[in-house]
Amino acid sequence: MRSRACSVYLLWESIVDLLYLNSVLLTRILMKGFRISITSRYDILCRLRQFASNYGNQLAFTFLALATIDRILLSQRSP
């Protein structure tokens, strides 16, 4: 299980990045490019977009940092 922890962290980072791209950037393209304001029509989408924009990048960077720390600790030799 120890050797698979890095791949689990990177998998979750990819999932978070995909959700971030779909929620935040897709709504921005619809609002700016096509002038379709989905977030003003649906309150829950506005709240989800706000949550994703606040915590999406932080969560992805956290998973990347955990994967990096895991690889560093795994590569160190035990006495």
What pLDDT digit, counting tens, does each position of 25-76 carry? 888 898 899 998 888 888 888 898 888 888 988 999 999 999 999 999 888 8
In one-letter notation, the amino acid at residue 21 is: L
Alpha-carbon distance of 39 to 59, in angstroms, equals: 23
Alpha-carbon distance of 41 to 11, in angstroms, equals: 33
Q: How many other CB atoms sit within 10 Å of the CB of residue 62?
A: 15
Alpha-carbon distance of 53 to 49, in angstroms, equals: 6
pLDDT bucket at 11, cuts 50 / 70 / 90 = very high
Number of domains in the chain: 1
Is residue 12 a part of any domain in this protein? yes
Total-model pTM: 0.76
Is residue 17 a part of any domain in this protein? yes
Q: Which domain range does residue 28 map to?
A: 2-71
Is residue 79 a part of any domain in this protein? no
- pLDDT for res 3: 56
Is residue 27 a part of any domain in this protein? yes
- pLDDT for res 59: 94
Alpha-carbon distance of 12 to 56, in angstroms, equals: 11
Is residue 77 a part of any domain in this protein? no
